Amino acid sequence: MRLDHARLIEHERRFPAGEKDGYAGFVKYLETLRREFYGRFLETRIPTQPSVNEVIAAFGAPPPQKFSEPYDISPEGLEQISKTVQRKYVVRFKNIRRSWSILLQHLPELMIEGGPSRDVLEMSTAHGATLEILRHFGHRAVGNDFANFLGRRGGADSRFRGVNEVDLSAVKDDHHLNRGDGTVENWPYQPIVESLGLDVRLFDAGHVPYPFERKSFDTVICFDALEHYCHPRDWMTVIEEFVRLARQSVLVITNPVQGHLVDDVDYVKHFHAFQQQMRQFSREGFQCVHAGVNRNQLTVYKLMRTHAPRLTPAE
């Protein structure tokens, strides 16, 4: 039976971490999975994309039990998210596990109990799971989001605009999310984020510069969202803005090219050009230190400041 949003949250309350035996059952399942998954790899040698649980099991580092508690959302807030948020994003522990597995793999320096506190900006934070995790490890985390226009009939599609070409915050949309005056009226994830007390700033990420001073954050991260901001021909402009804000590192993971865009020669050409530019990135003291394949395409890039930028006489 397909559960609605309210019943999904109630189900998570009855079965913490999605298990009959609760969080303890989840940890036991990971221990079994860790053995079985590695054994299957040794037997088959077939390269497969590991699941979120398989990644967590490989690290032997499950999220703490406190994250298995469901979101505490008011009836009014629940009514709002039921209209706008996909069902899969209202189960807190699933959201946490997705973000936890990414951070374990690509930002291990932020996943250390008692480690140094960092200032982190996450672009397109949505339900805020990444911010929750970062806060757990003592970091000062700020999120961003916005109600982008994706494939709206007769309206601007943010995936194909140029940077600063159309400021969506100045356009009133047909779903009554953007007021057209730079503010968002009914941001879909607002009830979730407010219930968690997270700091999320709403502004259009396809319009630069962002409302932060230069080098405001140690790390800037962006997961599966860059392709929503603008056409790939301008993605490097957005990356340059990330670097402007970052003191130490930038982690970007894009979605793979969607099936309906594979035959779009211009889109794919600029997507591949972006891949090469990121692998060879060297600017403001930042270099690409890691590039990875996710879902069978090169979509993971980590930039780090490896040396002080060389200044020109004018600077």
Instruction: State mean pLDDT over 32-58.
Output: 78
Strands 140-145 and 297-305: unpaired
Give the residue among 49, 63, 32, 24 at the shortest CA–CA distance from 300.
49
Positive/negative CA dihedral, 266, 268, 270, 272: negative
Q: What is the predicted pLDDT for the residue at 186?
A: 77
Q: Supply 89's token pair.
A: 């994003």
What are the tens digits of pLDDT across the range 179-205? 666 666 778 999 999 999 999 999 999
Instruction: State mean pLDDT over 229-240.
Output: 97
Asked if residue 111 lies in contact with residue 67, where contact means CB atoms within 8 angstroms, the answer is no
Return d(Cα 171, Cα 184) in angstroms, integer: 11
Return d(Cα 159, Cα 220) in angstroms, integer: 21
Angle at CA of residue 284, ends 215 and 281, nearest 5°: 120
- Which structural domains are found in the chain, ordered by start? 5-305 (3.40.50.150)
Tell me how far CA of residue 308 lies from CA of 128, 247, 283, 291, in angstroms.
33, 10, 10, 22
Tell me the Cα Rg of the chain: 20
**Torsion of the alpha carbons at 247, 123, 271 and 101, rounded to the nearest 10:** 90
Give the residue among 45, 48, 34 at the shortest CA–CA distance from 295.
48
Tell me the percentage of the chain whose pLDDT exceeds 70: 88
What are the tens digits of pLDDT across the range 252-285? 999 988 888 888 999 999 999 999 999 999 999 9
Mean pLDDT of the chain: 90
Q: Kindly report whether the peptide bond that precedes residue 232 is cis, defined as omega within 30 degrees of 0.
A: no
| Torsions phi, psi for 208 (to 5 deg) | -110, 155
What are the tens digits of pLDDT across the range 135-164? 999 999 999 998 766 555 555 688 899 999
